[in-house]
Amino acid sequence: MSQHIYLDNCATTAVDERVLDAMLPFFTEHYGNPASTNHPFGLSAKEAVDLARGEIANTLHADPAGVLFTSGATEANNLALRGSAQLAPTNRRHVVTVATEHPSVLETCKDLAHQRFDVEILPVDGSGHIDLHRLQEVVTDKTFLVSAMIANHEIGTLHPIQEIGKIARAKGAFFHCDGSQAYGKVPIDFTGTGIDLMSISAHKIHGPKGVGALIQRRENARIAPLSQGGGQEFGFRPGTLNVPGIVGFGKAAALAHEDLPKEAAKLAESRDLLEKVISSNLGDVVFQGDRAPGKRLPHLTSMTLNRVHQEGLMKTVPHLIFSAGAACETHEQKPSPVLLALGLNPHQIFQTVRLAVSRMTTRDEIEIAAEDIVRAVKKIRHWGLDDPAES
């Protein structure tokens, strides 16, 4: 697939070769069960898990004992919301979240509403920001949880996490963040921001799929396990640990944070070049989300290409790999809930694409992709091929 240019790095990333090298011995040599600490194979696996736990905690200024390994951020989101809801006091049955959250948060909140929790979903403005004054009004002494992602998975807008955390803490509510898109792309001080629970995934940072973590502030957060049958992960998630995946996650986390500010600057440079070439050669391009410095992720751009259907563009440039929206939504021909929340109509939504670079994306690939998109858009507009059935 070397002829393809991959620009769908919000959906998943390629595994770094250094990550793969770290994982391989735990498939064939150090294959013990980390719960079997009565022999060297098990001890070796446990030591590797503990090392990865420490590496991830170190990147966040968090307590290693608060790093709970899961199958990914979706499971971590469920564990955070459902687990804390099970222990919510009877006088705190109120949940506050945001209209642009990941489906694993919004669908879980809908389920909590069926369990007689009062769920409040805050709207966003045209850039994807919530109104902090409105948040302050709705969070009360009856609120047990506020859930707001650090960075949006479709438009890249960053929420003011520290301010949201202060509002939640002032009323004694827990604060949960889906950090899967932001982790490894922007600095996150878990201890300093007031987050109680945070979900992350390895495959967003050039680690393996199928492993993630829920980071918890142990002195504050209270969650109940969602399944029974073992004492693994401090009793919160029973079951044999995915040791190779966890080792890979730890290595990917360490690599992502070796020189994060410099890496983020390189990503932003690639993203900005992509945007510049496309916007300077085409009219009717509208970028979604907040584009102000420090207000969005460095590697992602969401653009609405007027008079160009997203499917028509994809068929015209099949060698370019990008997304019409979140990976969890693209199998359904329905308007993106995130873009609907921004105020776009369905016609505009189906003309919007998401492009995301990574540290593996070269400048040549950026230039080729941008030029090919420009050429394809001009062709589609000239021939009126905005309908994917005609393209």
> Which amino acids are annotated catalytic?
328
CB-based contact 277:371 (threshold 8 Å): yes
Residue carrying the six token digits 């751009």: 301
Measuring CA to CA, how many Å separate 147 from each of 60, 161, 199, 382?
19, 10, 11, 45
Beta pairing partners, 296:
157
Tell me the C-alpha distance between 272 and 298, whole Å.
9
Could you give the residue ranges of the DSSP H alpha helices within the chain? 17-23, 25-28, 40-60, 73-86, 103-114, 132-138, 161-170, 190-193, 243-256, 260-281, 310-316, 337-342, 346-349, 363-383
Q: Please give the Cα distance from 328 to 343 (Å, whole number).
A: 21
CA atoms within 13 A on the CB side of 364: 2
Q: CB neighbours (10 Å) of residue 76?
A: 30
